[in-house]
Chains A and B, each alone.
Chain A
Amino acid sequence: MTPRMTKLSLGIGAPVLALVSAFVITSLVLLVAGDPVGEVWSTILSVPETRNVANIINSATVLYLSGLAVAVGFKMNLFNIGVDGQYRIAAFAAAAVAGEAWLPGYLNTLLALLAAILVGAAWAGIAGLLRATRGVSEVISTIMLNFISTSLVAYMLRRVAVREEGSNIIATKQVPERSRIPGLSLSGEAGTEIYGFVFIAILCGVGYWLVLNRTRFGFDLRATGQSETAAVASGINVKRMVLASMLVSGGLAGLVGMPILFGGAYSYGSTFQSGLGFAGIAIALLGRNHPIGIALGALLFAFLDEQSNPLQILVDVSPDIVKITQGIIVLTVVISYEVVRRYGLRLEQRHVAQALERPESKSPEVPA
């Protein structure tokens, strides 16, 4: 096998190993609880209907953006737990701006997206600034900022919100129809529409890859993540990189709520989906911070969520069982990646040793 093939198969081997062990452990949990293991899996692993596929793609879109936001931090060795707070405060800001409709049509959409990115970045930037200037752990500060953002949004919502008729739910003004991002129907039937935002999410993934792997900024970011001391010695301004990567992470986090806002909810209210930021952490881990890996991770999590919905009705098992599976996946992923990483390093060392054993002369071997 060529080194490239080896690398690829190791890269695929790790998540497969993790998933298989997660499924085994979940099955054990089901067994212990006395639930029908076979029926649960046959429900979850059944072929989804078009309507369900649309739902899976839609939630995967949202999870993907969240995963990307977390992954930017991970690449820098920063643990941005605050994606959750960042996307909610950003979604609120975007909804408020879009609801006001200061600009016509898609200009209004653009303005709102910009607001989301800026607010998300600013919210994460607080943690970045604290880390860079005062050495405050971003783990602590982002958790705190999550709480603050929850309260702040609740407070602000009271001031700008309108009450829906005949309901206790309060929300921002509706996004005008001409500013909404149209969906794309999978089969032409109602309820099979996927967010138009899915393409923007894909663009984000491409941009993420390009910036991290092909630009100086990305190199500096990855170098800092791998070794802060080596980064400093090489001339990277680590403090600036900390701030910059938190801003980028927060900016991406700002987009997390946007598919929902412009593709389905059209306003930010007390029922706006929460918890997406935490799922993003798991997905970034699962996807190894790689844009395609994150996409697969997001699809998997979305798939499990969607397919577990009928469990209660069909086999009388709580859908929460997939939360256990997802949690176990995160644990097994961390373990299996480390195992595979060490194995890969040993392979590499052996490869080097083999390559160097052959020539007796002093000249280095240059592969043809």
Chain B
Amino acid sequence: MSTPAHETSTHKTVVRLRGIGKRFPGVVANDDVNIDVAGGTVHAIVGENGAGKSTLMKILYGVQKPDSGTIEVNGAQVDLASPADAIRAGVGMVFQHFMLADNLTVLENVTLGAEKLHGIGSGARARILEISDAYGLDIRPDVLVEKLGVGARQRVEILKVLYRGAKILILDEPTAVLVPREVDELFANLRELKAEGLAVIFISHKLDEVLSVADQVTVIRRGTTVDTVTPASVTARQLAELMVGSELPSPSTETSTVTDEVLLAVERLSLPTDEGRALLDDVSFEIHRGEVLGIAGVEGNGQAELVEAIMGMRPGVTGVIRLADRDISGLTTRDRRDAGVGYIPEDRHRHGLLLDAPLWENRVLGHQTRPPSVKGVFIDKRSSRADTERIIEQYDVRTPGPDTLARALSGGNQQKLIVGREMSGEPILLIAAHPTRGVDVGAQGAIWQHIKDARRNGLAVLLISADLDELIGLSDRIEVILRGQLVGEFDPGEVTPEQLGSAMTGAREKA
């Protein structure tokens, strides 16, 4: 108000957090968190996973109550006991994992639970179109959600929150699931939102994005606010160092370890669907010993299907998959794993872990057929626990011990456990699908190092990632996948993220 800077001159503080503290739950509690968010701005909150961002946002969204401190919204102190209270106060949240019913239309999804506002018919439809137009969301109310892409689903989530009257939007890692073009579109939407005077609280790991879209950036470390800066005054690297408080790793690979020996050969892999459009269309490639092959592509262009086809989790796949000259196309998932395939799945909660089982049982998962997990038909608890201790030690999994439930760990530590587990069966092929998605900077560096180690130890690595810097930094070769086809090969030493981005969307002319 008093500052003459044009960005904030007319914006008054709409959210004021003072001395927020939370002893538990959560792996790291909040302690003396102070944040001011101004209306008409995008306010980024950055910090490592487990730094306390999620707890803080849950407090602001009424999911959890703080032990100490005050929350003011629009100048009035509020007591948020539930999300309903938060919505009434004008605070809305878009979660990282979308909460949409696929088999309902956009209109039905938006009105679900908010039927009282504008009904479920033409009134609601008109309101949705009105909001969509006002903020350039480009949403059609009568489309089935299952027909929408990731970016459009996210816009539906944003619209859902706006529909309920939110003036303060919390977006939890909104770009984690988006490709560069969609990120740009999202940012354009966010600029529209703030131009209309709304406040956007933006949580992210991707510091470049934060710097490009935010007006203010608050850094949280170990549960407390470290600093609030303007993007103009810091670089991404400085910001990252504020977050971790130490020197940063980088993904770049060392000298090539690629050999002539083909470990994985995929020949003419196809996955037709009943509707005719193939999810995978005649995909062929080879990965050599000591080579990392990166797959770049817009989400939903066949990456997940490719991984699942190689893992044997998809029925109806045609083509041949050879692992070290052995045809594994006809084998079950278990036999493929036993043949030497390690698999870091894209969604660790769905595919990687038994959340309510102790860590040592999670160590056994996927390795039920071989020592140290089993002795004959029996599970070998003692050896499994011992080996879990080894993984905890070697892979720096921060946990009290192997009997802790997987659910109690932070995302980064869960992922490190998975990496450690998948590397423990002496695999010759490692499939890593989005290995650092949703993990903190510290764990990210560690996981990158493990992938580099795997490569140096002579594994073939198939790396799928939406993080182009990660792909370029780790891969020896990058293939671009578009509508189930491999459409171009790039040398990561020469390609830029922009070139990859245009190849991924099909804009690049055929080379």
Query: In the bound complex, do residue A353 and residue B28 qualify as a contact, i.e. CB atoms below 8 Å apart?
Result: yes
Name the one of A345, A353, A367 contacting B407, with C-beta atoms under 8 angstroms: A345
Q: How far is the CA of A183 from the CA of B396 in the complex (A)?
A: 59
Whether a CB of chain B sits under 8 angstroms from the CB of A346 is yes
How far, in angstroms, from A353 to B51 measured CA to CA in the complex?
12
- Most chain B CB within a 10 A radius of its CB, from A232, A353, A366, A367: A353
A and B contact pairs by CB, cutoff 8 A, 21 listed: A214-B379, A216-B379, A219-B379, A223-B357, A227-B353, A227-B354, A229-B350, A229-B351, A232-B313, A232-B333, A233-B311, A234-B334, A235-B366, A235-B369, A236-B368, A349-B26, A351-B400, A352-B27, A363-B396, A364-B397, A367-B400
A226-B397 CB under 8 A given contacts A220-B368, A233-B343, A345-B405: no
Asked if A230 lies at the interface with its beta carbon under 8 angstroms from chain B, I say yes
**Would you call A237 an interface residue if the criterion is a C-beta within 8 Å of the partner chain's C-beta atoms?**
yes
Q: What does DSSP make chain B's interface, helix, strand, loop or mixed?
A: loop
Q: Are A215 and B377 in contact, CB atoms less than 8 angstroms apart?
A: yes
The answer to whether B365 touches A223, judged by C-beta atoms less than 8 angstroms apart, is yes
Within 8 A of B (CB), among A243-260: none
Could you tell me if A366 and B393 are in contact, using CB atoms closer than 8 angstroms? Answer: yes
Question: A216's contact among B377, B396, B408, by CB below 8 Å, is which?
Answer: B377
Q: Given A214-B378, A349-B26, are A230 and B368 neighbors across the interface (CB < 8 Å)?
A: no
Contact with A along B372-398 (1 / 0, CB 8 A): 001001110100000001001100111
* B95 is an interface residue with CB less than 8 A from chain A: no
Tell me, in angstroms, the Cα distance from A237 to B315 when the chains sit together: 12
A39 at interface by CB-CB < 8 Å: no
Q: Is the beta-carbon distance between B378 and A233 smaller than 8 angstroms? A: no
Residues from 317 to 337 in B contacting A, C-beta threshold 8 Å? 332-337
Q: Contacts A215-B379, A364-B393 hold; do A237 and B400 have CB atoms under 8 A apart? A: no
Please tell me if A209 contacts chain B, counting CB pairs below 8 Å.
no
Most chain A CB within 10 A, of B338, B343, B352, B354, is at B354
What separation, in Å, do the CA atoms of A188 and B95 have in the docked complex? Answer: 69
Per the CB 8 Å criterion, the residue count for chain B at the interface is 52
B400 near A365 (CB under 8 angstroms)? yes
A149 to chain B, nearest CB (A): 33
Indicate whether A348 reaches chain B with its CB closer than 8 angstroms. Answer: yes
B376 to chain A, nearest CB (A): 9
Let me know if A166 is at the binding interface, CB within 8 A: no
**Contact across chains for B333 and A353 when beta carbons are under 8 A apart:** no
Known: A229-B350, A345-B408, A350-B24. A216 touches B374 (CB 8 A): yes
Asked if A362 is at the interface of the complex by the 8 Å CB criterion, the answer is: yes
A3 contacts partner chain B, Cβ-Cβ < 8 Å: yes
**B306 within 8 Å of A (CB atoms):** no
Query: Measured between alpha carbons, how far is A232 from B333 in the docked complex, in Å?
Result: 8
Residues of B within 8 A of A366 (CB): 389, 392-393, 401
Q: Roughly how many angstroms separate A3 CA and B408 CA in the complex, as a whole number?
A: 14
A235 and B24 in contact, given A220-B368, A223-B354, A226-B354 (Cβ under 8 angstroms): no
Instruction: Enumerate chain A residues within 8 angstroms of B210, measured Cβ to Cβ.
Output: none
Question: What per-residue 1/0 map shows which CB atoms of A201-233 lie under 8 Å from chain B?
Answer: 000000000000111111110110011011011
Q: Is the Cβ of B399 less than 8 Å from the Cβ of A226? A: no
Question: Which residues from chain B contact A351 at a C-beta distance below 8 Å?
Answer: 400, 404, 408
* CB atoms of A235 and B379 under 8 A apart: no
Q: Are A348 and B379 in contact (CB under 8 A)?
A: no
Q: Is the CB of B398 within 8 A of A353?
A: no
Query: With A230-B354, A235-B332 in contact, do A216 and B368 touch (Cβ < 8 Å)?
Result: yes
Residue of A at shortest CB range from B24?
A350
A110 within 8 A of B: no
A227 contacts B408, CB within 8 Å?
Answer: no
Q: Which residues of B lie under 8 Å from residue A363 when comparing CB positions?
A: 396
